[in-house]
Chains A and B, each alone.
Chain A
Amino acid sequence: MKKEFLEAFSVVVRDQIIMKNSVEISGLGTFKAVHHSQHQEKRIDGKTVMMPPRDTIEFVAEIER
């Protein structure tokens, strides 16, 4: 496996995720972007905090081990 390929793989998947695209890798699974909108959170110390929006990457495996 070439280093360029791995780097390219990372970049491609990342960019697609940023563009809210889901990326399917056949035989492995699918990467999806999940958006968590701004929300309030109650912390243990009683403070209410407004959490900023956030995107996460989610991987749905196509296979089972």
Chain B
Amino acid sequence: MHIDHQQLLDLLAEASGLDAETTEKQLNELIADIKQSLSDDEAYEIEGFGIFSSLGNRIMFIPSKELETEINFKYVGMEPIELDEPAPSFDDPFEGLDDESGAEEIDLEAKKPVGKDLGTRFAGLIDDDINDPDLEPAEDPGPEMWGVEAHKEDESADRLFASLMGQDYEKPIEEDEGIDTSDENEFDGFDDVFADTDQEEANSNDLDAEVAAFMGGDSDSEENDEKDTDELLDDVFAEMESDGLLNDDMTEETLGLDDTDAVIDYAEVPQEDGEDDYIAADLNSISAENEAEKKEPDEEDPEPEDNTENDLELEKEVDLDFEDPFMNLEDDQVDESVLRMEEFDDTEIVPVIKNITTDDPTDTDQKAEANKEPEEKETKTKKKEKPIKASKNSEAAPAWLWVVLIIVVLGGGVVGLGYFNILNIPFISPSTSTVATTSQPATPPPVVETTPTPVTDPVSETPTETSQTEEPATNQEQAAPPVVENTQPMQNQTSNEAEKYGLTGALSADGMDGYTIVMYSLSNQQNALSEQQKLQNDGYRAIVAPIESERYGTLWRVSLGQFASLFDAAVAAEEIETLLPDNYFIKKIN
């Protein structure tokens, strides 16, 4: 409906209580005011109603909150309803990640102090750095620089390295103390030492980033060091000393005898940490080894006899080539920055060599430790590595589990198929027995009385009996009806298994739990039976049931059909309404 101007005036007059003339005047005044303010580029607000404003040439009306609320009073209380399950919140997964990272960080911190002593002391001496480049690839300015990196990108290679590492650690101890591996160790040690010194000198260094990367690697190596036994450290020293070239320098530096910054740092750290025992042990071992090995001063580039078997001798040679810059570094520390790049390469190459050179199958424990250590490193530094490692560990076991699982499932499936007669499996498929049991209920109960045949043979009347298999059952049931009729008329129906429920056909014993349409209740059994006969002749399922009534004695209730539900019965009754008396009703049979 549209309220035009005149209607509006009437309404306004009525609402305001003013007379029509005043109202019209007021309204015109209002319109004029609004137009005026709009033309002045101002908005015009009617309190409690809204704001007339102009946007360009258009005039807009912005309803006030009150007005908006009031015209929506019908919908008050209706709030937006979220239909979906809240999508997996982004926060949670991130939180989980944060937690993990936090935990990892905590682990690192917790382990650092322990390993710090050894790590700072022996970081250079030990090959732990092998894994370091892997750990912090992102930080490294030039990952390409790292020769090892290429090897390690391959995971299998990585594992190989780790396993080899575990073996490597012990071999030098037991067998080859003075062999070439020591050279490599020395290089690593120097690199680490320099890295440490660089760390302190980092501010002035051009390669701060690389240093930082190294430092991270050192920390990891420190963790490895934790697990290494003292013997390992000793061995490393031994190896160091074994090399004639570096014996003096390295030993002195490690012992804190040297004046270089790096040496001092190393010496100080362990002492502060209170690992004097290690130092003493190291010193002893070193001294002993020195005495023994100084006899062979020219072992700078010894070809390890034990290691001749290794395929990677070439790499060893490469490492040996790197020795020269190293020597230069010792001589001239001015070249540190320049050589550092090469040093990195050395460190990476060195681990490779070590792995090859030293294989100690005897010690499984240290192997395990070595394997663990790289994993820990990787997990701490690289989250990506974590799942891989986990899967690696879990891969082996599940294989047979899967086989067992598959067998169980298949077996279960086959048995199930057999049980349900889909497959005929002796002892499992119950086909014969079930058939027998199901057919049994159809057989009639013992005949108590035989009565005249008004009940008739449903077989002859029912058109639905098509299958021969059912005939014997129905024949048996024929005998039953008379029995039932006399004693319990409820059971006088013959069962037609094909149709448990229905309006037409033979009565089914199974259908006696359903509903039926009651047509008559007769006091005379003969009349009831004749009615039933008539209905059955017409092809309907007719039931005659006695009803005990106090007032009328026994009544014989004639009803039609067997139906699964009240609804079905009602539908059927609708269809045959003409046949039924007006006062028919639907009742449960039993």
Residues of A within 8 A of B (CB): 1-2, 4-14, 16-29, 31, 33, 40-41, 45-59, 61, 63-65
Tell me whether A28 and B31 are in contact (CB under 8 A): yes
Tell me whether B46 and A6 are in contact (CB under 8 A): yes
Q: B41: shortest Cβ distance to chain A, in Å? A: 8
| Docked pose: A64 CA to B54 CA in angstroms | 9
Check B111 for interface membership: any CB of A closer than 8 A: no
Check B216 for interface membership: any CB of A closer than 8 A: no
Hey, which chain B residues are within 8 Å of A1, CB to CB?
26, 29-30, 33
Check B467 for interface membership: any CB of A closer than 8 A: no
> Closest residue of chain B to A19, judged by CB?
B1
| Docked pose: A11 CA to B15 CA in angstroms | 8
A-B CB contact pairs (8 Å), 18 listed: A4-B18, A6-B49, A9-B27, A9-B49, A11-B15, A12-B8, A16-B11, A21-B2, A23-B8, A24-B2, A47-B87, A49-B82, A50-B82, A51-B80, A55-B74, A56-B63, A59-B59, A65-B39
Hey, which chain A residues are within 8 Å of B47, CB to CB?
6
Interface size on B, residues (CB 8 A): 55
With contacts A26-B5, A48-B84 taken as known, whether A65 is within 8 angstroms of B18 at the C-beta atoms is: no
Tell me whether B8 and A46 are in contact (CB under 8 A): no
Check B58 for interface membership: any CB of A closer than 8 A: yes
B 482-504 binary contact with A (CB < 8 Å = 1; else 0) = 00000000000000000000000
Check B109 for interface membership: any CB of A closer than 8 A: no
| Docked pose: A22 CA to B143 CA in angstroms | 75
| Further 14 A-B residue pairs, CB within 8 A, beyond A57-B61, A64-B59 | A1-B30, A6-B30, A8-B17, A18-B70, A21-B2, A25-B31, A48-B83, A52-B79, A54-B75, A55-B72, A59-B59, A59-B61, A61-B59, A63-B35
Q: A38: shortest Cβ distance to chain B, in Å? A: 8
B 1-22 binary contact with A (CB < 8 Å = 1; else 0) = 1111100100110011110001
Within 8 A of A (CB), among B74-118: 74-75, 78-84, 86-87
Q: Which 4 A-B pairs have the closest CB atoms?
A: A59-B61, A8-B16, A52-B78, A61-B59
Check B34 for interface membership: any CB of A closer than 8 A: yes
Hey, which chain B residues are within 8 Å of A21, CB to CB?
1-3
Q: A8: shortest Cβ distance to chain B, in Å? A: 3
Q: A60: shortest Cβ distance to chain B, in Å? A: 9
Tell me whether B18 and A5 are in contact (CB under 8 A): yes
Check B60 for interface membership: any CB of A closer than 8 A: yes
Tell me whether A10 and B48 are in contact (CB under 8 A): yes
Tell me whether B80 and A53 are in contact (CB under 8 A): no
Cβ 8 A contact of A10, one of B28, B34, B67, B79: B67
Check B71 for interface membership: any CB of A closer than 8 A: yes
| Docked pose: A45 CA to B23 CA in angstroms | 52
Q: B558: shortest Cβ distance to chain A, in Å? A: 56
Within 8 A of A (CB), among B142-200: none
Hey, which chain A residues are within 8 Å of B73, CB to CB?
18
Tell me whether A5 and B23 are in contact (CB under 8 A): yes
> Closest residue of chain B to A26, judged by CB?
B5
Q: B75: shortest Cβ distance to chain A, in Å? A: 5
With contacts A24-B4, A28-B31, A59-B61 taken as known, whether A48 is within 8 angstroms of B82 at the C-beta atoms is: yes
Hey, which chain A residues are within 8 Å of B4, CB to CB?
24, 26
Hey, which chain A residues are within 8 Å of B22, CB to CB?
2, 5
Tell me whether B81 and A50 are in contact (CB under 8 A): yes
Hey, which chain B residues are within 8 Å of A12, CB to CB?
8, 11-12, 15
Tell me whether B54 and A50 are in contact (CB under 8 A): no
Hey, which chain B residues are within 8 Å of A22, CB to CB?
1-3
Q: B166: shortest Cβ distance to chain A, in Å? A: 49
Hey, which chain A residues are within 8 Å of B5, CB to CB?
24-26
